[in-house]
Amino acid sequence: MITVTLFLPLLGALLLVVLPLRGERSLRVAAGLVALAPLVLLMVVWSRFKGTGTFEQIESAPWIPTLGASYMVGVDGLSLALAAMTALLFFAAIIYPVDWRGKPKAYFALFLFLETASLGVFLSLDLLLFYVFWDLSLVGMYFLIGVWGHGEAARRSALKFFLYTLAGSLVMLLGVLSLYLSTAPHTFDMRHLIATRPLDGTGLAATLTFSGFALAFAIKAPLVPFHTWLPPAHVDAPAPASTILAGVLLKMGTYGFVRILLQMMPQTFSRLALPVAILALVSVVYGALVALAQQNVKRRIAYTSVNHMGYAILGIAAAAAILPGLGGGFTQTRSLALTGATVEMVAHGLITGALFLMTGSLWRRADTYEISELGGLARRAPIFTGLAAVAAFASLGLPGLAGFVAEFQIFVGGFPVYPWLIALALLGLIITAALFLNLLQRVFLGPLPERWQEFRDLDRGEIVSLAMLIAFVVVIGVAPGWLLAVIDSFVRPLVTR
Amino acid sequence: MRIPSEGSALAMLALPLLPLLGAGTLLFLRGKRSVLPIIALAALLLTLASAVWTALSLPVSGWAWGPILGGRLAVAGLGRMMVILVPAIAAPVVLYASSSNRRDSGFARLLALLLAFVGAMELLVIADDFLALLIGWELVGACSWALIGYEWTDSARPRAALDAFLTTRAGDLGLYIAAAAAFAGTGSFRFDTLPQLHGTTAAIVAGGLLLAAAAKSAQLPFSPWLFRAMLGPTAASALLHSATMVAAGAYALARLAPIIPVPWLAPSIAALGLATALAGGVVAVLQTDLKKALAASTSAQYGLMFVAIGVGVPAAAGMHLATHAAFKALLFLGAGIALHATGTLELSSLRLGRALPLTAITFAIGALALAGVPPLGGAYSKEQIVAAASQTGLFFTAGVTAAASLSALYAGRLALLAFGPDPNRGEVRPPNGAVTASVLLLAGVTLVSSVLWFPGVAASVAELMGGELAIGEGWAAGASLVAIAAAGIACWLLWRRGDLVDFGLSPKVRLPVAEWLGIPLVADMLVKRPVLTLARTLATMDDRIIDAGVRGAARIAGYVSRLFGHSLEQLVDAGVNSLSTATRLVAEASRMADDRGVDATIEGAARGVGAVGTQSRRLQTGLSHQYYLIVAIGTVLLIAIASLEIVATHR
């Protein structure tokens, strides 16, 4: 089932290329149908999910037996939540209308290829396979930004994104090697690495390996000061690519922090948690402040990702900081912190994904991202305004929406470990409130300028995509029990181990 | 969500849900203007009925989100009175809005927001743990943002809404901290575990709660946000100042301060309240905008409630909260009628007594209650605060008495200037029937609250709220009544001399004080500007770093495109055409895991990108099993490079 889920988009991509489909409309429908399949299949996987605390529904096949590498996929609470979010986001992004630049076939094929790569990162249980998918996702995103981005700058931004994150993944490669070499007999099996933790501790090798991984994940997430690839990539990417970049690719960084660093090297992480937490705090505050100063809609939203991923990593670091066995009281707060961080990954994917899709609608109509050129659009586009307002409030952490469920748990869970860091991180809540409400006010409210008299509201296709994402944001905000149960099945064994 | 079997628990869930559901219905049916008020009022009356039921049955309920996280709801203590008060005050206010804002294009939105405001406030009131409280707390704030910015085409209003939201959210952070610290201290968010707190944790909970309450209830130094809130429609102001939003701070403190074991908490609340009561009184006396003067008086009156909580008599605070809610909503609606009639709120140009006699009478009733003139209920509750303060000695008694005389002075001033007689005043636009009915309703409630003076009534009301009133010193009651009378006489004399608008003070002296003692300017200078400057500086710095990176990338881009001799778009075009070839090659590459095949692969990769090749060569110097491994990794990198390379050769 998971293998089918994983490779269906790739197969669909090949079919799109091979089949004599012409025209944006039919290609869009075909690609949408293909992208719907993983979503449905993951729902089936979800319904079969038992929450045993280990990996379930494992499928494997020999790949490079001489190296101890195999094809192996499966899910636990963490990967299931992220994979489902990924499938949902891809579906919404693929059917979202953009300017296909006369190359719809290549666009949809690349997008579906990217979906397989992204799902692969979360579903792989073999470190080498994980690494393959990780790098493949870079390739897909590189072309999406470079070809369908805005203008000449897009290619530079794409290349910068590619080189920067490729550099990260090369550092990660060293980490992968180091972990691999510490096993005997050598294996890339992530289950084995999690169960035996061969390179956990305080030695030089462990510290260096940890740092390599941490650097790669900090670039991907991104944490300040490794975030500088992010703003140009986002601004120049087509909106659905931005959605995937922010919603899915950034999550690979936080996923790595949990899956590899927290699960395979908990003692090393415990010792290095404070520097990670401080970087996360800097990202929270710095990301929010720099976002506040941005006068370009897309750049502003892009920087809020730095802020939100900072929250997620702060939660992970808090969960990592205290080793089990130091008193039962911390089990609950560690559990809250890690659950909150995981919900943040899902929530940020949905919320920021929706926000970036909206910037695409804005671009299609106004051909600008400059806040100062916009205003009063609510008069012409009430639906657009309403959806943007919900997404903005969700992003600034209003209760009743998904972001609050995530951030509240991170704050409460992190507080006993890092009271000062959490107190300072709360300042991010105010700054994000300021920057989002200011954005709403200057884009949608106030008098309508003459030049936007003909501004169109969202069309049906756009509304379907956005409403789907916003619906999940609301459901997770009001009744997150189903999501928290799945995440808890993964978190509980981890914090009580 | 766990739905308990008992009906009263369901009724409690209806308290927040019914108004929210009503709000959704209103938005859904927004085109049918004539039925909207009926739906809104029906929802409020049903909520009111549920409130009465729950106030009598005291249900406890809750929900679980997960194994640790969950909220607890209960109607308890002061909440018994509050659940009823909120819809009871909201009903006349919604009636007012139904009539006066009927022609607005956002009519359905206004009514829906008012209902949502009620629902959020009811959630806040029935919260029995920090999670539920925080949810209600923030939702109330968001509703007030939307209400203040209701007339959004004028950009000043959304801006004011933003300022108000940010100010109160700064306080909300205190509640986040308090929740986190309470959980750290007790392993739970529940209020009934708060007495177990001790040490630093208890102090953090206390400080956080005080910060949140002060911001919400517009105490110093947060008070000016209420001035910004004045840009909202009258109905929103009336509700925001009486039973919702501002009431939240005093309510939470009245419920929680007595059970948090921190010695400095109570004195701090009392001191902050007294300072705000006096400062707000002075601001209200000198302010010449009717609504702003009323707003300053709200801060002052909540200051008095804080004093009552701080000196240990939360029941007196609760009672004053209730009487204040009725007369303050009444006064705001009166101000709305004045604005509707004349188009201005400037006290120098109103004097509508002859033109609008009925409104003048109802406004006078509200003003007398605000001034604390017996036998109105407002006077009784204020005397209870004086009595509570008198238990602690001279300092607070003198302070509260001074604040009470200031209230009398500004209440009388507002009544005389806004609705005093003016023989030269011509015809004005009169209020219509529904508006008048809403004002009469609130005036009726204000008059009925006089029953508090009957022996025994107040004690049973206090008992209903789960508290006791203080037995004050007789001299204190006498002193405060004398002070109120003196203020009344002073007010009358100034009116006769014609000095009541500005007291003969020059604007240079009066204005800075009337605009909240210059606090907004200081906040602007010390908080807003530095933060914005910091943000811009960081952003500029960030841009420089990025620019440097982009320039570097551009150089590499030039190199890469020379290498391939093609533009990226052509590459992709060609790439799609040969995608199947590429896939086949990749598949073969991964199948050929033997030495030779992989060797060739690595060499191919190294030819493709120099940097990666160097990397591979460096790594190849290791042991033989490392070599194998790197070979495998090379396969991976190949996939990244293959698409480029194949395309290049294909062309």
Helix (H, G, I), strand (E, B) or coil at B627: helix
Of A434, A448, A488, the CB nearest to B166: A434
**pTM for the predicted model, two decimal places:** 0.90
> How far is Cα A191 from Cα A125, in angstroms, rounded to an integer?
7
pLDDT tens track for B396-419:
999 999 999 999 999 999 999 999
Please check the confidence at residue A484 and state whether its pLDDT lies above 80: yes
Around Cβ A354, how many Cβ atoms within 10 Å? 28
pLDDT at B614: 42
Query: Looking at residue B459, what is its pLDDT?
Result: 87
Q: What is the pLDDT of residues B169-178, one digit of tens each?
A: 999 999 999 9
Q: How many helices (H) and strands (E) does chain A have?
A: 20, 2
Do A433 and B165 count as a contact with CB atoms less than 8 A apart? yes
Token pair 């705000």: residue? B276
pLDDT at A238: 92
Mean pLDDT of all residues in chain A?
Answer: 92
Give the residue from B371, B135, B114 showing the smallest Cα distance to B248. Answer: B135
Nearest to B56 by CA among B39, B81, B73: B81
Closest Cβ–Cβ partner in B131, B181, B557 for A156? B557
DSSP A118-132: HHHHHHB-BHHHHHH
Which member of A66, A289, A430 has the closest CB to residue B170? A430
> Does residue B246 have a pLDDT over 70?
yes
Residue A42 pLDDT exceeds 50: yes
Query: Between chain A and chain B, how many beta carbons pairs sit less than 8 Å apart?
Result: 236
* pLDDT tens readout for residues A155-179: 888 888 888 888 888 899 999 999 9
Contact A36, A44 (CB under 8 A): no
| Portion 301-360 of A in contact with B at CB < 8 A | 329, 332-333, 335-336, 339
Q: What is the mean pLDDT of residues A424-429?
A: 95
Question: Given this model, what pLDDT does residue B554 score?
Answer: 67
A101 token code pair: 């630049």
Closest CA to B419 of B498, B362, B372, B497: B362
Task: Render B235-283 in DSSP notation, one character per residue.
Answer: HHHHHHHHTSTHHHHHHHHHHHGGGS--TTHHHHHHHHHHHHHHHHHHH
Percentage of residues of chain B with pLDDT beyond 70: 84
Tell me which chain A residue has its CA closest to the CA of residue B619: A174
Question: What number is the ipTM of this complex?
Answer: 0.94
Chain A residues near residue B158 by CB distance under 8 angstroms: 437, 440-441, 445-446
Answer whether residue B533 shows pLDDT above 80.
yes
Task: Give me the residue from A378, A393, A399 closest to B135, CB to CB.
Answer: A399
Examine the pLDDT at A260 and tell me if it is beyond 50. Answer: yes
CA A300 to chain centroid, in Å, comes to: 17
Interatomic CA distance for residues A237 and A153, integer angstroms: 10
Query: Cα–Cα distance between A164 and A154 in angstroms, integer?
Result: 15
Chain centre distance of CA B127? 16
Q: What is the pLDDT of residue B610?
A: 41
- Is the Cβ of A481 closer than 8 Å to some Cβ of chain B? yes
Reported as half-sphere exposure (CB side, CA atoms, 13 A), residue A365 has a value of: 22
Tell me what pLDDT residue A20 has: 82
* Parallel/antiparallel/unpaired status of strands A56-64 and A69-75: antiparallel
What kind and span of H or E run contains A58?
A: strand A56-64
Q: For residue B631, is pLDDT > 80?
A: no
Average pLDDT, integer, range B376-403? 92
Alpha-carbon distance values, B651 to A142, B444, B644 (Å): 21, 89, 11
Look up residue B525 and give its two tokens.
């200078």
pLDDT for residue B589 is more than 90: no
- Shortest Cα–Cα distance, B589 to chain A (Å): 11
CA B628 to CA B635: how far, in whole Å?
11
Residues B462-483 have a mean pLDDT of 86
Summarised one tens digit per residue, pLDDT across range A446-483 is 999 999 999 999 999 999 999 999 999 999 999 999 99
Convert the pLDDT of each residue in A174-191 to its tens digit.
Answer: 999 999 999 888 999 999
Q: Among residues B497, B351, B356, B359, which one has the least CA distance to residue B414?
A: B351
CA distances in angstroms from B39 to B43, B52, B95, listed in the order given: 6, 20, 11
Percent of chain A with pLDDT over 70: 98
Give the pLDDT band of residue B622 (cuts 50, 70, 90). Answer: very low
Q: How confident is the model at residue B580 (pLDDT cuts 50, 70, 90)?
A: very low
For B263-284, what is the mean pLDDT?
Answer: 96
Residue B627 pLDDT level (bands cut at 50, 70, 90): very low
Cβ A25 vs Cβ A42: under 8 Å: no
Give the pLDDT confidence score for residue A115 in this predicted structure.
96
| Number of Cα atoms under 13 Å in the Cβ half of residue A312 | 29
B169 touches chain A (CB under 8 A): yes
Q: Does residue A275 have a cis bond before it (omega within 30 degrees)?
A: no
Confidence of residue B557 (pLDDT cuts 50, 70, 90): low
Please state, rounded to an integer, the average pLDDT across all residues of chain B: 85
How many Å apart are CA B328 and CA B227, to the nearest integer? 15
Q: Nearest to residue B176, comparing CAs of B144, B143, B147, B134?
A: B134
Burial of B456 (0-12, 13-18, 19+ CB in 10 A): exposed
CB contacts of A339 in chain B (<8 Å) are: 66
Asked if A58 reaches chain B (Cβ–Cβ under 8 Å), the answer is no
**Is A231 an interface residue toward B (CB < 8 Å)?**
yes
Average pLDDT score over residue span A282-300: 95
Of B134, B169, B580, the CB nearest to A17: B580
Does residue A132 sit at the B interface (CB-CB below 8 Å)? yes
Beta strands in B5-117 (DSSP E): 60-64, 70-74
A69: part of which helix (H) or strand (E)?
Answer: strand A69-75
pLDDT band at A201 (very low <50, low <70, confident <90, very high): confident
Least confident of B224-233, B394-403, B578-587: B578-587
Structure tokens of B622?
């290791």
pLDDT for B649 equals: 40
- Averaged pLDDT, B19-25: 95
Would the CB atoms of A289 and B65 count as touching at under 8 Å? no
Q: Is pLDDT at A345 greater than 90 in this prediction? A: yes
Q: Does A293 contact B162 at a Cβ distance shorter than 8 Å? A: no
Contact B120, B143 (CB under 8 A): yes
pLDDT higher than threshold 50 for residue B532: yes
With CB atoms and an 8 Å threshold, state whether A492 touches B67: yes
Is B636–A411 a contact, with Cβ atoms under 8 angstroms apart? Answer: no
Query: Which class for B478: exposed (0-12), middle (13-18), buried (19 or more C-beta within 10 A)?
Result: exposed
Residue B346 has pLDDT above 80, yes or no: yes
Q: Hey, what amino acid is at B600? A: A
Cα dihedral B442, B445, B447, B450, rounded to 10, equals -150
- Residue from the list A135, A228, A426 with its beta carbon closest to the beta carbon of B639: A135
Judge: A446–B590 Cβ closer than 8 Å, yes or no.
no
Other CB atoms within 10 A of residue A38 CB = 29
Write out the two tokens for B374.
């017996």
- State the pLDDT confidence band at A404, using cuts at 50, 70 and 90: very high
> Quick check: B633 and A146 CB within 8 A?
no
- For residue A135, pLDDT beyond 50: yes
User: Are the beta carbons of A232 and B550 separated by less than 8 Å?
Assistant: yes
Q: Which amino acid, residue B611?
A: A
- Asked if residue B480 has pLDDT above 70, the reply is yes
* Of residues B68, B152, B531, nearest to A332 (C-beta): B68
pLDDT, position A100: 85
Of all residues in chain A, the one with the smallest CA distance to B554 is: A156
- Residue A448 near residue A376 (C-beta atoms within 8 A): yes
